[in-house]
Amino acid sequence: MQPIVRWFHQLGSPPTFDRFARRWSRVFHLAALPVLALGLWQALFVVPADYQQGDSFRILFVHVPSAWMSLFVFALMALYAAIALIWRIKLCEVLAMACAPIGAGFTVITLLTGSIWGRPMWGTWWDWDPRLTTELILLFLYMGVIGLYVAIEDRRNAARAAGLLAIVGVALLPVIRYSVDWWGSLHQGQTIRLLGQSTLDASMQVPLWLMVIATKLWFAGSLLAKARADNLQREAGKDWVQRQFQEDA
Amino acid sequence: MIAPGTEPGLWRTARALAVRDLRMAWRRRGDVLQPVLFAVLVVVLFALALGREPQRLAADAIAVLWLAVLLAGQLALDALFRSDAEDGSLEQWLLAPVPLSWLVLVRVAMHWATTALPLIAISPLLAEMLHLPHDQLPMLLASLLLGTPLLSLIGGVVAALTVGLRRSGILVALLSLPLYVPVLVFGAGSVAAAARGQDPSGALLMLAAGLVAALVLAPLATAAALRISLS
């Protein structure tokens, strides 16, 4: 067997994953901190004030990365759930369910920062605008996945049922993504493009991309830590967990 | 064990299930009336809460009617698979020689015919109670005819996911209502657009597209959900 394929198969076993997650969740969290600090410092002190929005636009550097994460985490959760349903990989159930609370957290941050930003810019905390409404629905979907996972007693069935709900919910992701383009919206249109010309000023792009990388790293760390806790809880009766905690103690 | 060559075909199974469901509904006629009564009550409550001025009621009539139909259908969701799960016939569905998603599609269609169709039939009366202008009524009926099957199909997935739970009432609502939002937006939006003199065909076409997609995909998702719930 190829070394990479073998490593991948080994990672699926709970004890190996536990060792892997314990090491790498710390690495990801530690790697995220300097990037986050640099990005925030640039966003708050280096980037010049916007000629229209003044200093209040600086919340963008928190708002936009967390909005992207709220969608990305949902898609990743559905992907893990699909893998778990098709190939019955137990670890993917754990990972999918670990995505849900973290993604819900990013969605709450997006809604809060957007609301705080909207107050001085649009003169209102909230508006029933397509982008805002769909983001709120996304939060309800996250809540639904968590709620269903909690409600079913058998852990494996719960993860698979909640995972299926996540897969069904993916149908809404494109609606959220393109809501700004499809309907006339209070929310500003897309200004950042990975390919082609961005309409966002170049000086704002560096801290934005730093924040995007930082949120991704932080998410990877949190996902591994959360999945590790869930994995240990599920395996609590097994010998290797007992042995490991005796070693640690 | 069924002898080879004598398996029931798709249409025979569908007819048997449809006849059985309709007969059950007919024997319990009172239950069929319950969603209708619920919708009437919602409309009455809205009318009393909004005040008696006809203009005010007419302005909100579309939203109230769509919500009444949506909530009545949502409350009826739990009955979709519940009794079959309790008496074990759902397990027979899993073993049946026809695809589970086909049986699910027939069941959802029959459920729609016995819960949503009476609601649509009563909606002209409800519209009259809310002083909806008569020229908006065809648009309302068209949006309901396209929208309610979509609601039933989406709701079927949620009902299948929660069928294994002993008490699932509020959870079904929490899971299904976020998924209903696009249907409500396009359904009520099409009538509202027509009332403002705009072209409603865009919203109606979106509903129709959603219905076609759901007709294909929702039974598959519902079948997968039933397998998870019963495993």
* Domain contains B113: yes
First to last CA, chain A: 37
For chain A, the domains span: 18-48+55-189+207-233
CA B138 – CA A160 distance, rounded (Å): 43
Q: Give the residue with greater pLDDT, A45 vs B121.
A: B121
Q: Is the pLDDT of residue A243 over 70?
A: yes
* Domain contains B208: yes
* Domain contains B105: yes
What integer pLDDT is reported at residue B104 of this predicted model? 94
A71 contact partners, CB below 8 Å, separation of at least 6: A138, A173, A176, A177
- CB-closest option in B171, B181, B221 to A168: B221
Distance from CA of A151 to the nearest CA of B (A): 8
Is B166's Cβ below 8 Å from some Cβ in A? no
Contacts of B182 in chain A (CB under 8 A): 172, 175
Contacts of B231 in chain A (CB under 8 A): 157
> How does pLDDT run across B183-198, given as a tens digit for each residue?
888 888 888 888 888 8
CB atoms within 10 A of CB A77: 27
Contacts of A172 in chain B (CB under 8 A): 179, 182
Under the banding of pLDDT at 50, 70 and 90, the label for residue B231 is: confident
Is B220's Cβ below 8 Å from some Cβ in A? no
What integer pLDDT is reported at residue A94 of this predicted model? 92
First to last CA, chain B: 22
A85 contact partners, CB below 8 Å, separation of at least 6: A160, A163, A164, A167, B224
* Domain contains B1: no
* Domain contains B50: yes
Segment B83-87 mean pLDDT: 87
Indicate the residue type of A52.
Answer: Q
Global confidence as pTM: 0.86
Segment B97-115 mean pLDDT: 92
> How does pLDDT run across A166-214, given as a tens digit for each residue?
998 887 777 767 765 665 555 666 665 544 455 666 677 888 889 999 9
Mutate to test the interface with B, among A88, A97, A168, A170 (most CBs of B within 10 A): A168
> How does pLDDT run across A153-173, given as a tens digit for each residue?
888 889 999 999 999 888 777
- Torsion over CA: B87, B89, B92, B94 (sign): negative
Does A164 sit within 8 Å of B224, measured CB to CB? Answer: yes
How open is the CA angle B3-B8-B14, to the nearest 5 degrees? 160
Distance of CA B122 to the CA centre of its chain: 15
Segment B112-139 mean pLDDT: 90
What integer pLDDT is reported at residue A145 of this predicted model? 93
> How does pLDDT run across A21-49, given as a tens digit for each residue?
989 999 999 999 999 999 888 888 887 77
Residue with tokens 């006629």: B29
Alpha helices in chain A (DSSP H): 3-11, 14-41, 60-87, 90-122, 130-151, 155-169, 173-182, 202-234, 239-248
Under the banding of pLDDT at 50, 70 and 90, the label for residue A216 is: very high
Under the banding of pLDDT at 50, 70 and 90, the label for residue A99 is: very high
CA A221 – CA A111 distance, rounded (Å): 23
Counting the structural domains of chain B, the total is 1
Distance from CA of B132 to the nearest CA of A (A): 24
CA A32 – CA B217 distance, rounded (Å): 40
What integer pLDDT is reported at residue A162 of this predicted model? 92
Query: Residue B191: which domain range?
Result: 10-230
Q: Is the pLDDT of residue A107 over 90?
A: yes
CA A70 – CA A103 distance, rounded (Å): 5
Residue with tokens 């930082």: A214
Residue with tokens 């629905």: A137
What is the predicted ipTM? 0.83
**A18-48+55-189+207-233 under CATH 1.20.120, yes or no:** yes
Q: What is the CA radius of gyration of chain A?
A: 20
* Domain contains B200: yes
* Domain contains B81: yes
* Domain contains B36: yes
Look over chain B and give the mean of its residue pLDDT values, rounded to a whole number.
Answer: 88
Three-class SS state of A196: coil
